[in-house]
Amino acid sequence: MTLMAHDETLYDGTRRLRFRVCDRGIGIHEEDQLHLFSDFYRTEDALIRSIKGTGFGLDTMASLTIQLGGEYGVSSVQGEGSTFWVQFPIR
């Protein structure tokens, strides 16, 4: 697992702080990615189901990120891993 953080200036001069967490795990099915940030969502994949958790953490992160004016997302490829990211404007 890798955690990266950096700030960047966009073409219009605004600045943002971006965090990314990357892993080389089993990846997440594309259809499950659409629901990951929903309340208490757990994938039906048997391998992922064996991992403990309530499905509460990503929803909480998403809500806090929105409240702080930020954005979030995920990209994942089956068998290659996932990258979760969150970014906030720097004022």
Question: Mean pLDDT score of the chain, rounded to an integer?
Answer: 83
Q: How confident is the model at residue 18 (pLDDT cuts 50, 70, 90)?
A: very high
pLDDT (average), residues 47-64: 68
Given this model, what pLDDT does residue 46 score? 44
pTM reported for the whole predicted model: 0.76
Total domains present in the chain: 1
The number of angstroms, rounded, from the C-alpha of 33 to the middle of its chain's C-alpha atoms is 9
Q: What domain range is 81 assigned to?
A: 2-90
d(CA 44, CA 69): 31
Residue 88 corresponds to which tokens in the numbers above?
Answer: 């906030």
Q: Which of 75, 64, 71 is nearest to 86 (CA)?
A: 71
CATH of the domain at 86: 3.30.565.10
Q: Is 80 exceeded by the pLDDT of residue 85?
A: yes
Report the percent of the chain where pLDDT is more than 70.
80
SS3 34: coil
- β-sheet with 81-90: strand ranges across: 2-9, 15-23, 81-90, 71-77
d(CA 65, CA 90): 13
pLDDT (average), residues 54-73: 85
SS3 82: strand
Question: Who wins on pLDDT, 19 or 47?
Answer: 19
